[in-house]
Structure 1
């Protein structure tokens, strides 16, 4: 457990997205107010009243988990996340978007139980993970960086992926990392600024240090929902691809040899540490998923 009894530090970077941020914070207040959690909102040069709103929450008596507000000047996601990692008091840190909303009270307890039960897991993705494979062709374009032959998005093999965590190579946000991992290998590398590929680079460093990286589809389980449009709308598509190609090229320069060495290994699985309520919720989601497939044309 970290300082002041806090186990999980939730890092939320936000930029001019106030109505959505309000919903995100309300979901934490509703479902995690009684958990050993703190919220670190990194206000990133907002001009839409976000800073004043957050100051008002603290001044008027915020009813959710302990809330701290940090300020950056439009530094973007990587720098804001690193600021949160540096300020976090918990033994675990969660990189969370301001357009993600918790839907279930069992979500945080399961995350905490997972890291207590499995000390070899250094970082856990909460939506999907990435499995990398070697490809002899060079990386020349953005499309090459995300070629499915090189990088496959996964929640693990069905149907046991509803009940298990699955070892992967890299991840996409959101994810939870042990502070011990960050202390050992360092935070996100500023070479990937403003964002993209930084988290998979961190995963490879964590794996080299002896921990494993895992994923589980908590969003598919119904634990939270991600309103993707507000996250990806900040950076124009052409600029996003330019950044993605630059950072993807750097990632493959660093880690192609490691991908070649490790891609064929047998990947470990872990049983979920769900509560009875969490298992029941998941079974309902399984039923909905199966019904949806039957109804599909």
Structure 2
């Protein structure tokens, strides 16, 4: 619903974008102009928008607005001068405290002169005041940018994190057979943009007599970096070129981009680098640090160090990449940009619509928890689950008592009465239909954006995981299902596999589980797989309604979760994993007797045959890994959670008494 009578104030930079002027700004292709112009265009759909330069804050004294949108500069002054309903801070950098610390630490660690600082490198305290004073933060960046705020005690629910895209028209042209041309293209050559790393890295490559060319585009922030440019010209000679600034969209701009293979931006701190997006859009492959705000680095991230073996390895790998591999990497890089950055204004429009209509900006999760005979453990499991659900709030929980013949129902009702919650809980009873049908029962009653299937022996110790899941699902829209426990890749029958982690090479199925046992590095990524295992399993409700629920041919259990992943993959969607702190205690299977285990083994064989008859997994797993930084709990809180909410159902007191008993008598 669009409201046309609102009064909105937008405070940005008239130097970059001014809707009252007919003059075309020379900065019209900058990130500031891009964001400001799109905000102005979209906000005008809701009423009267007054646009001011952030330095003109006195001009709005004593005025009244429904909403205020503004960058950090003078934001804290504006909210004191006017009356308003809500204020939204537009942030395009990391939290000032985090930013300042990164720069100071880099100067100290590398014993650099204080002349490295430019006047605007260090953010003043008024930025922090603006963060505290606003209703919401509209942050352009990625999960690392977001976590710089959360680490400084900003509530996760206050931050809406968005990608944005380049406004410069793209021209793709690169038909070279060798790829050793590097472009460092930035708005400013200086400390924050990592030029010290550039200088050290390329001098070392030159001294090792490696063939390359380096083009630097950008104005120096001070005399210190002007001298560095001069020194680099003398050392590298014909391998080096510096251009003060090039206007985007000109013939010279496209000539420079088409003459290079890689854009290298080792920034120490950013929100999301606009010039980097411009280059990627035109086909250059990114070589970046993890603080550029960009989440895809095909060669891995550069380290924020002047002398780094990792950085040398990445550049040498880039230079030695074959023409065929380069084209494949370039294609992936372009596809990533097009999918997750190019249509950014549509996502911005959706967020603004929710903000201006007082809708919840966070998507709703419906939790489905089937339970069978867990009287000794379900109370702890629910107490633990209550933490993340209360943190996120826009959730509901559907507990399905499936054929419980013990005291589980009474324990669940006791928890409902005693627990402090900010969400709704409902309880249903089924006649022991087991997990495929009980999960479908819950899925078909879900009314939110996403359904979350968890099992009655999944213990989730991650209090903020829903904010991470929401970010991933809202940002990477072509992922139909994501899992938090583990991913799995399936292979043709008879395939021989070797490597770390759980590998199954049975007659009836061949798969390789993808989790921390496979590689500890996976905790740093949101990564693509063939399928996800339950616990938790998050599914887009809209896709379930359109393409069907769990296939009950797999009832009572096993392979239904893998099957639905392959079904969504077959219509063009992806499956991903974002590992969280969850323990699958396997408490159901552990209680099976030999008769039940034989029945279970027959079901596994039967369902694997159904799966392989229906689907034909490939041996090729050409999947991408997207960098993701999770919201972290404090170490003490996490440790205590694992002690207090034990998977064996014991209370903390009983746990401590058992430990004391074991110490004395054993």
2:461 corresponds to 1:100? no
Query: What SS class does the counterpart of residue 399 from structure 2 fall into?
Result: strand
Contact 2:378–2:412 (CA under 8 A) maintained in structure 1 = no
Q: Deviation at 1:49?
A: 2.5
Residue 447 (structure 2) aligns with: 89
TM-superposition CA deviations, 1:251-294 (whole Å, max 9, x none): 000002xx24xx4251122222523x36x76xx99xxxxxxxxx
Matches within 5 A, 1:101-116: 101-116=459-474
Contact 1:114–1:273 (CA under 8 A) maintained in structure 2 = no
Q: Is 30-39 or 64-73 further displaced after alignment?
A: 30-39
When Rg is computed on C-alpha atoms for both structures, the one with the higher figure is: 2
TM-superposition CA deviations, 1:9-38 (whole Å, max 9, x none): 111111111221111111122332232221
Residue 214 (structure 1) aligns with: 576
TM-superposition CA deviations, 1:123-180 (whole Å, max 9, x none): 112121111222369xxxx93124xxx2111138735312112211122112111112
Residue 272 (structure 1) aligns with: 628
Contact 1:113–1:273 (CA under 8 A) maintained in structure 2 = no
- Take 2:470 and 2:375, find their aligned partners in 1: how far apart are those partners? 29
TM-superposition CA deviations, 1:211-247 (whole Å, max 9, x none): 10012332xxxx2222223455357321111000000
- Take 1:240 and 1:246, find their aligned partners in 2: how far apart are those partners? 10
Residue 615 (structure 2) aligns with: 255
Contact 1:97–1:231 (CA under 8 A) maintained in structure 2 = no
Query: What SS class does the counterpart of residue 620 from structure 2 fall into?
Result: coil
- For structure 2, which runs of at least 5 residues remain unmatched after alignment? 1-353, 496-504, 640-666
Bigger relative CO (Cα 8 Å, ≥ 6 apart): 1
- Take 1:160 and 1:129, find their aligned partners in 2: how far apart are those partners? 14
Contact 2:485–2:582 (CA under 8 A) maintained in structure 1 = no
Structure 1: 4+ residue segments shifted above 4 A: 55-58
Residue 30 (structure 1) aligns with: 387
Contact 1:185–1:209 (CA under 8 A) maintained in structure 2 = no
Residue 244 (structure 1) aligns with: 604
2:516 corresponds to 1:153? no
Q: Deviation at 1:71?
A: 1.4
Change over 3 Å in CA distance of 1:232–1:203 after alignment to 2: farther
Residue 557 (structure 2) aligns with: 195
- Take 1:170 and 1:45, find their aligned partners in 2: how far apart are those partners? 29
Change over 3 Å in CA distance of 1:136–1:47 after alignment to 2: closer
Contact 2:370–2:456 (CA under 8 A) maintained in structure 1 = yes
2:541 corresponds to 1:184? no
Matches within 5 A, 1:228-243: 228-234=586-592, 236-243=596-603
Change over 3 Å in CA distance of 1:10–1:234 after alignment to 2: farther
Contact 2:493–2:507 (CA under 8 A) maintained in structure 1 = no
- Take 1:51 and 1:159, find their aligned partners in 2: how far apart are those partners? 39
Aligned-residue Cα RMSD (Å) equals 2.8
Taking structure 2 as the reference length, what is the TM-score of the superposition? 0.37
Taking structure 1 as the reference length, what is the TM-score of the superposition? 0.79
